[in-house]
Structure 1
Amino acid sequence: MSERLGLPSAVSIALGGMIGGGIFSVLGVVAKIAGARTWLAFVVAGVVALCAGYSYNRLNAVSGRTGGSVTFVQRYTNNTTVAGMVGWTLLFGYIGSMAMYAYAFGEYTVGVLNLRDVLGGAARPLVSALAVAFFVALNRMGARASGTTENVLVAAKMLVLLGFGALAALYGSSRGLLDYGFGGAVGIAPVVAAGVSFVAFQGWQLLFYDRGSIADPERTIPRAVYVAIPVAVLTYVLVGVTTTSLLTPAQIAQYGEVALAKAAEPVLGSLGYDVISVAAVVSTGSAINATLFSAAHFANGMTDEGVLPDRIADHADGDGVPQRTVLLLGIVTLGLTVYGTLDGITSLASVSFLVVFGAMSAIAFTERDADGVSPYPPLVGVLGAALLLPLLCYHLAAHEPKTFGFVVLSLAAVFVVELTYFERTRLARAAQRAEDRF
C-alpha cells in the first residue's frame, strides 16, 4: 500500500478480524450454552482478550523491539523449541479461525440462495470449500483491501449490526421480550461459553503483523487495540441480548449458525434475514481474506525465526504475498472446514488462542517490575486463560464428547508434528544408534 494506515484504518483491521467473522460464526454456538447470559460470556472473553492485548503492547514497549508471540517467547525464555511450539499453536488457531469463517460463509450463502434444495447436504461443504479456494487464489494474485476499502467494509458491517441491534432492542422492549438473564443463579455456563467464544476476540492481533503498513505503529497499534476490543464487546453484547431475547432456546439450537439472521425476521421480516445473511457473507469472506494474508506472513516470519521448515514458507512476490504459504494454509483450512463441525472448529481455535494469549500474559507478568508495566492486566489475563481453558475442555468432554475427541486428536497431532520437527536431530541420532546396535 502506498500510504501508511492511520488509527481509523488500524481500528478497522482489528474490528474486521473480530466483528467480521466472530459474531456471525460463534453467536449460535455460544447462545446454545449460555442462553440469555450470552452477553456475559462475551464480556468475560473480552476482558481476558483486552488484558492479553495490554500484555502484547507492553512487551513491545519494554523490549524496544517489534514482535509477536514467537518473538516474545524466544526473547524471554531463550528456548527455540518452546517458541516454535507456541508459534505453531497460534498458526493452527488462525487456520481454525479461517475454517470457522468459511463454515459460516457456507451456511449463510446456502440459506440466502436456497442451495440446499438443489445440492442437499453437500451444499454447505461445497460452498465453504469454494470460498477458501477463491480467497487463496485472490491472495496469490496479490489482492488485498486498501485502507479505505477496509474502513468502508467495517463501517457497513457495524451499521448493519448496530442497526439491527437497536431495532431489535426497541422491538423487544416494546413487547417485554428483552431478557438479560438476571433471574436465578448465574452458574458456570457463561464462563464456559466465554471459553468457546474466545476465538471471536483474536482479530486485533493481526495488527502486529501489519506494522510495516501502519503509520507510527508504536502509538497507533496500542490505541487501536484498546479501542477495537471494547467496541467489539459492546457490539457482541447488544446483538447477544437481542438474539437470545427474540429466539427461544429451541430455535437457537435449531437454527445454529444462522441464528442471528433468524432473529432479524420478527423485526424486519424476510428482509431482515436477507440483510443479515448478506452482511454475514461479506463479513466472513473478508475475514477469510484478511486472516489468510496475515497468517501467511506470520508463517514466513516463523521461518525467519528458524521455527518453521523452509519448504513450507517462501519468499514473497512483488506484492508481498507468500505464494506457497498461502496455498498450504488454504489446503489445511479447506480440509478442516469441509470435514469438521462448527462446534469442533470453534473450540479448537479458541483453545489455541487461550493457550497463546495466556502465555503472553504470563510473560508480561514476569516483566511487572519494568517501567510502565502494571502487573494487574497480565495477571487477569493469566488467571482468565487458566480458568476458561479447563472449563471449556470439561464442558466438551461432558456434553460434546465427539467434539472433545476432535479437538484432542487435532491438538495431539499438531503436538506430535511439532515435537518431531524440533527434536528431529535428537531423534535422528537415536535412530542411528538403534540401527548401529542391530
Structure 2
Amino acid sequence: MKRKLSLLEATAIGLGNIIGAGIFVMAGSTINLAGPAALISFIITGLLAMSIGLNSAELASKYPDTEGGVYSFAKLTMGDTVGFLVGWMRMISYSVSGAATALGFASYLQIPRLTYVIAGALIMVLSGIYLAGLKLASKIESILVVINIGGLVLFITFSLASSKFNISHFTPLAPHGLNGILTASSLAFFAYSGFNTIATLTPDVENGDKNIPKAIVLSLLITSVLYVLVVFSMLYLLPWQVYGTQGNPLTFALQEAKAPLFVVLAVSTTAIIATLTVTLSTIIATVRTLKQMAMDNLIPSRLAANEALPTLIVASIMISSLSLGNVEGIGLVSNFGTVFSYLTTAMAVIISRRRGYMGSFKAPFYPALQVLSILLSIVVLTALGEESLVLGVLSILIGLIIHVIHVEINLVEKGKTLNPHGKIGKLNSE
C-alpha cells in the first residue's frame, strides 16, 4: 500500500503552498496602504484564511474524488452555473496573480527600464516550458519552501539585529484609518493564496480527518507569525512612509538600510526563486482549471483536447494584466476572484450539512465559523477598491454571458443529434 503522509509532512506541504512570492512582492504595498497597522491587516487575513481552510477540509472529506477544488465544491453543492462562475473567476484571478509575481520577479532583477518587458518575456518562456512538459515535483517544492523560509528568516534576523527600535517608525498606527487597514487586508490575502491546496490531501494523510485540520491550523499559524514578523522587521528597519508599491520591497528595505551585499543578494535570490516558481505554478494551476471546466463541459470541450490553446489563453490574460500597473493594483484585482471563489466554501458547507451529507471531518463552531467566513470575505471584497470591484463584476458578467451562450449551443447540438426515438441523427423537421 502507498505510504500515507504524516502530520509533519502535510504541514510542510501546506507551508510550501502558502509561502511563495506573495510576501516577497506585496509586503511593502500593505504598509503603503495601512501604515504600521499592516500588522493588524495580516492578522485579519490570517483569520479569514483559517476559516476558509477549515471549511475546505470538511468539504474535502465529503467529496474526496474532487481533489478538493473550490470549483468542484461549488459545482456539486450549488449547480453548474455557480460552479462555472467559481471556476471562471479562479481562472481570471490565477492569471492576474501570475502577472503580479512575474512583475515581482522582474523587479528583483532591478532593471527598471525593462521591468514590464522582462515580466512579459518570463510569462512567455514559462508557458513554453509548461508546454514542453515540465512539471514541478513535490521534492523540488519542498526544497524551495525551505529556501523561501530561510530567506525570510535571514531578513528578519538582520533587521532586528542591525537596528534599534524607533517609535516614529510605528506612529501613527493607522494613518489611513479603518479603510486603509481593510484594503491592506484585501491585498495581504495575496500572500496566503494557495493554502486551500492542503485540504485536498485528506485521503492521503494518516488519520486525515484529524490531521488535516491540525495541518491547516499549524501551517496558517506558522505562516501568519512569519508574515507578521517580516512586516514588523520592515517597520523596525525603516519608517513606514518610505514604503510604496515597489515590486521588490525586501531588497528595497535592505538597500535603504545599507545592508551588507551578501544579505541583499541572498534575500534577492530567494525572492527571485520564489517569484519564478510561483509564476510557473500559477500557469500550471490556471491551465488545469480551464481544462477541468472543459472536461465538465462548462466551456467548449475542445479546450481539453490539448495544452496549447488553454496555455495561450492563460498567457495572453497574464501579459494583458501587466497593463494594470504596479504590483499593488494587480494584486487587488487578482484577489477579487480568489476571495469570491473562497467565499463559496462556507456556503457549500452550510448547504451540504442541510442536505444531511456528512464527511469524516466537521469544521468547528458551526454555523458561527461559516458566518464569520462569509462576513470577512464580503468585507475584504468591498475593501478591494473601485477598480478591482468594477473589473471583478465585469468579469462575472462576461462569464455569465459565455456560460449562457455555451449552454444554448449545447442544447442546439443535442437537438441536432438526437431524434425523438433517441437514435443518432438529425431531427425530423416536422
Same fold (TM over 0.5): yes
Deviations 1:274-331 (A, max 9, x none): 322221111010111122222222222222222222233335xxxxxx4443332122
Amino acid at match of 1:336: S
Q: State the alpha-carbon separation in 2 of the partners of residues 168 and 313 from structure 1.
A: 49
TM-score calculated relative to the size of structure 2? 0.82
Amino acid at match of 2:251: A
| Structure 2 residue corresponding to 1:261, chosen from 234, 251, 255 | 251
Instruction: Give the direction of change, closer, same or farther, for the CA distance of 1:422–1:217 in structure 2 (3 Å limit).
Output: farther
Measured after TM superposition, the shift of residue 4 of structure 1 is 8.0
Measured after TM superposition, the shift of residue 180 of structure 1 is 8.4
Matched with 1:271 is 262
Of 359-368 and 300-309, more deviation after overlay is shown by: 359-368
Amino acid at match of 2:30: V
Say yes or no: does 1:84 pair with 2:74. Answer: no
Say yes or no: does 1:408 pair with 2:363. Answer: no
Q: Secondary structure at the match of 1:187?
A: helix
**Which ranges of structure 2 fall in alignment gaps of 5 or more residues?**
413-430
Amino acid at match of 1:412: L
RMSD: 3.2
* Correspondences of 1:175-254 after superposition (within 5 Å): 179=170, 187-207=178-198, 218=208, 222-253=213-244
Q: Secondary structure at the match of 2:303?
A: coil
Decide whether the 8 Å contact of 1:171 with 1:267 is kept in 2.
Answer: no
- Count of aligned pairs: 401
Say yes or no: does 1:357 pair with 2:342. Answer: yes
Q: State the alpha-carbon separation in 2 of the partners of residues 16 and 143 from structure 1.
A: 19
Matched with 1:170 is 161
Matched with 1:434 is none
Q: Secondary structure at the match of 2:117?
A: helix
Of 194-203 and 218-227, more deviation after overlay is shown by: 218-227
Q: State the alpha-carbon separation in 1 of the partners of residues 294 and 201 from structure 2.
A: 17
Instruction: Give the direction of change, closer, same or farther, for the CA distance of 1:414–1:125 in structure 2 (3 Å limit).
Output: farther
Q: Secondary structure at the match of 1:55?
A: helix
Matched with 1:68 is 69
Measured after TM superposition, the shift of residue 215 of structure 1 is 5.8
| Structure 2 residue corresponding to 1:335, chosen from 320, 326, 332 | 320
Say yes or no: does 1:298 pair with 2:283. Answer: no
Amino acid at match of 2:376: G
Q: State the alpha-carbon separation in 2 of the partners of residues 149 and 25 from structure 1.
A: 22
Q: Secondary structure at the match of 2:248?
A: helix
Of 355-364 and 183-192, more deviation after overlay is shown by: 183-192
TM-score calculated relative to the size of structure 1? 0.81
Amino acid at match of 2:250: L
Q: Secondary structure at the match of 1:143?
A: coil
Q: State the alpha-carbon separation in 1 of the partners of residues 312 and 4 from structure 2.
A: 27
Q: State the alpha-carbon separation in 2 of the partners of residues 170 and 102 from structure 1.
A: 31
Matched with 1:41 is 41
Instruction: Give the direction of change, closer, same or farther, for the CA distance of 1:199–1:183 in structure 2 (3 Å limit).
Output: closer
Matched with 2:381 is 389
Instruction: Give the direction of change, closer, same or farther, for the CA distance of 1:409–1:355 in structure 2 (3 Å limit).
Output: closer
Q: Secondary structure at the match of 2:136?
A: coil
Decide whether the 8 Å contact of 2:77 with 2:352 is kept in 1.
Answer: no
**Which ranges of structure 1 fall in alignment gaps of 5 or more residues?**
316-321, 398-403, 431-438
Q: State the alpha-carbon separation in 2 of the partners of residues 342 and 411 from structure 1.
A: 21
Instruction: Give the direction of change, closer, same or farther, for the CA distance of 1:292–1:184 in structure 2 (3 Å limit).
Output: closer
Q: State the alpha-carbon separation in 1 of the partners of residues 6 and 168 from structure 2.
A: 42
Decide whether the 8 Å contact of 2:238 with 2:253 is kept in 1.
Answer: yes
Q: State the alpha-carbon separation in 2 of the partners of residues 282 and 258 from structure 1.
A: 13
Amino acid at match of 1:75: L
Q: Secondary structure at the match of 1:306?
A: coil
Matched with 1:326 is 311
